[in-house]
Structure 1
C-alpha cells in the first residue's frame, strides 16, 4: 500500500543546507531572505493524491542565521514526524488517539476507519500544541502564536528587512515605517499595545493624512511599505491577513525625465569633455552602456573585463547581470591595471579608488555635479543624468528600425538585448514612456 504521508522536510530558501559553507555570502543572504518552514504532504482520502499541508514557520524567520532558524525548525520536524507515525491525520476531525499513542508509546491500531471531514480539518500545528511538552521533549519549539506588541513587531520587521534589502532601499523603508509609528503614537497608540490593534481603518486614516500633506505618489509609496511591513509579520506567523492590499492605489503623475535633442547632446558632451572629463566618462557609461546612474556608481574595477569586453552590473531587476562593453565605450576607458579589483570605478576625484559611502549618496553626488552643467545650458528640472539613457534608447531604436528587413518585433528583440530589459512588455512600456515610438508624418492623409 502507498504511504499516507511523506516525511516532514525543512525548506531552507532553495539551497542545500548541507553545502551551506560552500555557498557565497550573497547566496546565503538570498536564502535567508526567503521564509523557511517545515512542510509535508498527506494523502487526501477523497482524491487519493498527496496534498501539501499548511506550512509551519513558527518564529524561525525572525532570526537572521541558519543556526538559529534550524534550532527552531528541526525540533518541529522531528516531533511532527512522531505524531504522523502515531496516526495523526489532518483530514480527520478527531485525532485524540494520537496523544494516547504518544503517551503510551504504543503503535497505532485502528479498528474502524473514522469518517473523513475534509472541511473541518484541524491545523497540524494545533495538534502539536495539544500534546504535552513532556511528551514532545521540546523546551522551546516556538510553535505557538502569540500576539506581540507594536514595538516588538517594528523591531522584528526592521531587523528582517535590514538583512534582505540593499543599502539604498532599506533606509527609505525604515524611514516610512518610523513615520507611520510616530503617527500611531501621536494618535493614542502605546508601545505595549498589541499589533492586532492596527487594522485597515487605522492605515487608511494615516494614508489620508500623508496624501493631504504630500502627494498621491508619496501616499502610494507609504502604502507599499506598510503592506510589506504587514506581509513580513504574516511570513513570521504573527498576523494572518494583509489588509493593506485591499486599500486602492491612487493615480499619480510619474516624474518624467526628458530626452535630449541632438543639438543639446552634442553641446553638453563637448562642454563636459572640456570642463569635467570624469563626469563625461560617467555619462558615457549611462549613454553607451545603457546603465542607470546608480548602477554606474556600483561598478568596481573587478567588474570591468577588458579582455572579453564585458562588465558585471548589479542591476535593478536581478542581482548581477553581464553586459558587453561596446567598442565606442571601451576606447574611452583608461588603463585600469594599477588598481585593485575591489576599488570603485568612479570616485569623487578620479577613476579607480576607495569610496566607502552609501550608493544613494554617490548617485546624489554626481546628480549635484551635473546640476552645474544644467545651469550652464539653462536646462529645466525635467532633464537629468537618467535622460542620457532615454536619449540613447530612442536614438538606437530609430537607427535599428531603418535597417532593411527588420520587423517591429525584430527591432525590439535586438534592442532588448542591448538595454537589458527583462521582458518584451517591459521594453515596450519603457519605449512608450519615453516616446521613442512615434508615427511617420501623416500629413498625406489630409490631402
Structure 2
C-alpha cells in the first residue's frame, strides 16, 4: 500500500516539476497579413527564444522575439496558397531544429530561399553528383542503388516532388525501419551512412539547415563471421584447390601470404607488380595507396607469368588479361568460384567417410585471418606482445597500432596459457 503511494507521489512530483519548467522557446507561427491574408503585407514565420542575458524576477530567462524568417517567400510567391505552403515548411523545419537543440544565440540559421527551390528529388540528385567525385567504383554502385531506393520510397509517399525541407528526421527514420523489417540492421546502417553523406553535402551547400541523419542512432549488428581455418583443414583444402583450380589457389595465396583483402587482390594490375624489386602497389581500405613486399613464396608463383600488358588485371576468370567488370563484380566472381569449389570439397570429404563440412563461415577472407594468426603466434614465441605487434603492423598493412590490436582481438590471435593450476581448490 505504502509502495503505491510512494510511486504516485514521485510521479506527481515529476509531472509537477516538468509542468512548471519553462520552455526555452515558443512554437513557430506564421504571420499571414492578418485576418484578410493581406498579400501586400510582409508574411513571415516568428518565434520566441529564451535570452541568455535577460531574466525575470524569479530568475527565469525571458523569452525574446527572434528575427522573423521569410526566405524570400514574399518576393517569390504571390498567392495565399503558395505562401502558406512554403511558410508552413519553414515553420515545421524550425520546430524540428528547436526540438533538437537549435539556439538562435549560438547557431547560425542555415535557411535561405535556395532551400525552398529544391525538390527532394532534385536535391538528392545534386548531392549524388557532388559525391561522385569522391567515390571509388565499388562505392558508386552502392551509393547509386541506395539513393535510388530512397527516392522510390519518397515518390511512393508523394514527397519526391516536394521541397527538400519537407524531408524530416521522422521521414528518414521510417524509411530505415522499413529496411530493417525487410532485410537486416546491417543493411539499414549502411543505408544510413549513404543518406547521411548525401545530406551532409546538402548542408555544406546551404540547401538544408543541418544534417539530422547524423543524430539517427546506429543499430547494433552481429559481425559477419570469417572463421579461421585449422592447420588440418588448411592442408587438405590447399591440396584440393591446387588439383582442381590452380588459378583460384593463386588468388587465395595473395590473400594468405600478402595479407590483402579479396577486393584489393581484384584491383591488382600488371603495372602494380614490380617483380625485380619484389614489391606490389595496391589501393587499400585505409589509404589511397600502399606498397607491400611480395614474399618469395608468392614471387616464385608469379615470376614466369606474362607481364607484358601493363593495364591487364592480374586476376580474371582465365588469368592475366582484360576484364570489363566493376570491382565488386570481380570480387563476387571469385567469392562464388570459391563457394562452388568448397561445395565440391565438402562432397569429396563425405566420399572419404569424413563428417567435417566447411560452412558459410569459411570464406576467402578467412585465409587472411588464418595466416595473420599463424604469423602472430610464431612471432610471440620470440618477442613480447608489443614487439610482435610492431613487426606484424609492417606486414599486414594496418594503418594504426590500435586498429591492429583490435583486429587481433577480433580474430582471437592470442590465447592464454593453460590456467588449470590456478583453479585448484587446495
TM-score under structure 1 length normalisation: 0.66
What is the match of residue 155 of structure 2?
185
Which residue of 295, 303, 306 maps to 2:264? Answer: 295
What is the match of residue 315 of structure 2?
346
Q: Is the 8 A contact 1:299 1:345 kept in 2?
A: yes
Which residue of 296, 301, 306 maps to 1:327? Answer: 296
Taking the aligned partners of 1:247 and 1:121, their CA distance within structure 2 comes to 20
What is the match of residue 399 of structure 2?
422
Taking the aligned partners of 1:337 and 1:370, their CA distance within structure 2 comes to 24
Q: 1:120 to 1:227 in 2, by over 3 A?
A: closer
Taking the aligned partners of 2:417 and 2:371, their CA distance within structure 1 comes to 20
Which residue of 143, 149, 152 maps to 2:122? Answer: 152
Taking the aligned partners of 1:322 and 1:252, their CA distance within structure 2 comes to 33
What is the match of residue 446 of structure 1?
423
Structure 2 residue 364 is the aligned partner of structure 1 residue 364: no
Q: Which moved more, 1:276-285 or 1:199-208?
A: 199-208
The count of residues paired between Structure 1 and Structure 2 equals 309
What is the match of residue 383 of structure 1?
362
Taking the aligned partners of 2:114 and 2:420, their CA distance within structure 1 comes to 73
Taking the aligned partners of 1:161 and 1:121, their CA distance within structure 2 comes to 26
Q: 1:365 to 1:144 in 2, by over 3 A?
A: closer
What is the match of residue 393 of structure 1?
372
Structure 2 residue 253 is the aligned partner of structure 1 residue 265: no
Give CA deviations for 1:317-344 in whole Å, capped at 9, x if unaligned: 1111100111111111142455211111
Taking the aligned partners of 2:225 and 2:140, their CA distance within structure 1 comes to 24
Q: How big is the alpha-carbon RMSD for the aligned residues of Structure 1 and Structure 2?
A: 2.2
1:236, distance to aligned residue in structure 2 (A): 2.0
Taking the aligned partners of 1:407 and 1:284, their CA distance within structure 2 comes to 28
TM-score under structure 2 length normalisation: 0.69
What is the match of residue 54 of structure 1?
none
Structure 1 or 2, whichever has the larger Rg, is: 2
Give CA deviations for 1:74-117 in whole Å, capped at 9, x if unaligned: xxxxxxxxxxxxxxxxxxxxxxxxxxxxxxxxxxxxxxxxxxxx
Q: 1:267 to 1:195 in 2, by over 3 A?
A: same
Give CA deviations for 1:374-399 in whole Å, capped at 9, x if unaligned: 11133100011000000011100000
Taking the aligned partners of 1:160 and 1:120, their CA distance within structure 2 comes to 29
Q: Is the 8 A contact 2:116 2:163 kept in 1?
A: no
Name stretches of at least 5 consecutive residues in structure 2 with no aligned partner.
Answer: 1-104, 347-356
